[in-house]
Amino acid sequence: MQLIDKITSREAKIGVIGLGYVGLPLVVEFCKAGFKVIGFDIDPEKVSLLKLGKSYIKHIDISPLYENDSLFTPTSDFAGLSEMDCIIICVPTPLNKHREPYMSYVFNTTRTIANYLRREQLIVLESTTYPGTTDEDVRKILEETGLKAGEDFYLAFSPEREDPNNKDFSISNIPKIVGGYTTKCLHVAKTLYDCIVVKIIPVSSTKVAEAAKLLENIYRAVNIALVNELKILFDRMGIDIWEVIEAAKTKPFGFHAFYPGPGLGGHCIPIDPFYLTWKAREYDVPTRLIELAGEINTNMPYYVVNKTVGALNERGKSIKGSNILILGIAYKKDVDDTRESASFRLMELLEEKGAVVDYNDPYFPQTPRMRKYKISKESIPLTKENLSKYDCVIIVTDHSSYDAHFIAQNAALIIDTRNLIGKAGIVSEKVVKA
């Protein structure tokens, strides 16, 4: 096949649509492998920064993109798609306000590709979605051009497996699942990813690949919901859930540790389960366990607020008018990523009750632009004087830069949702685990 030869000889031109946490690392890996890559994004600010050689995602090293200036071009002009041999879609798949899949980014991107679609092109969707998206919805849009998938062009799904700031795993050494619309489509897509990934896991269809990604994240969501529910029960019983987990994980088989928190964050776990529960309705199959897990995890910010209200009341203070400092707005430690972070929901709930809320996060001098929340605040310096002036400090993200002893010494009241203080071996009456 002509396209196979172009891929193996590194003559194929790669187009990556969506230069975020998924697309940008892909661009880096393909450039490192010697491919010419055009990165497409509708955000002109991202394109401008990349043209200046600047990364807007701190943990992603983009220096390989500029070791050979002729390999990478960022652009907002999608007309260049007609010149691409392989096009990879890495756009967001969020939920709408009813927790249903919001597929406009994927479908509008596909319609744009259709405007420039030609024979011997490979189209790969990497955005997490429900089974059937690739070979039903995306294929239908592309075939409206008169070209047929598997005959005139190739179509595949390969889910991203991204863990921001993980020092041990990156795109190149994480096994990559690939499913094709036909065996020929699978062969072409596998050939492409073989150039940048150490191990490819081919599966029988795009639906299997889509379902595998959902299973990975639903597995995590359900188990996190379990420990979140047990956290509430054990707290009522006077048992420390963190100590229980540490004891249980000493079992060398049959147990994998999951940890409670203030609510789910990140681009996958809070969202992906609802893609499957939505699709399951089409088949009249209830997904009660998944939906219950979603309900438990979604309610965690409310639990944290209630613990905060109770702790303040015990100290003779009302939540209304209290000054509260949230530590960490990133969804996980040591990353500059706020996607679906529980911090913003906590801010809303606390302010609805009349609290005055500030935050500190070493990765965010200001709250970033977000689709869901309209919050504009600046990070408060974490000094002795600042800590001591707040009625309550809520630890939402356990960044490595947070000194547990310093916080415990200077804060009047600490609501610890990550066991940061406990892990440091500090026992204090002013620490409330939530």
Q: Give me the active site residues, please.
A: 268
Token pair of 395 as six digits: 């630890």
- Separation of alpha carbons 231 and 212, rounded Å: 29
C-alpha distance from residue 66 to each of 51, 83, 172 (Å):
10, 22, 19
Spatial separation of the C-alpha atoms in residues 34 and 18, rounded to whole Å: 20
Amino acid letter for position 166: N
C-alpha span between 286 and 201 (Å, rounded): 30
**Cβ(12)–Cβ(3) under 8 Å?**
yes
CB atoms within 10 A of CB 256: 10
Please give the distance of CA 309 from its chain centroid, rounded to a whole number: 30
Beta strands in 198-286 (DSSP E): 200-203
Secondary structure of the chain: what % helix, strand, coil (to 5)? 40, 15, 45
Q: How far apart are CA 126 and CA 89, in angstroms?
A: 6
Q: How many Cβ atoms are within 10 Å of 69's Cβ, its own excluded?
A: 9
DSSP type of residue 341: -
CA 7 remoteness from chain centre: 30
Looking at the DSSP bridge assignments, the partners of residue 125 are: 89, 157
In this structure, how many other beta carbons lie within 10 angstroms of the beta carbon of residue 340? 21
Instruction: Tally helices (H) and strands (E) across the chain.
Output: 15, 13
Order of strands across the sheet that contains 392-395: 356-360, 323-327, 392-395, 414-416, 431-433
Query: Which DSSP helix (H) or strand (E) runs through 343?
Result: helix 342-352
**What gap in Å lies between CA 422 and CA 231, rounded to an integer?**
15
Residues 219-232 as b/e (b if ≥16 CB within 10 A, e otherwise) read ebbbebbebbbbbb
**Which amino acid type is present at position 62?**
I
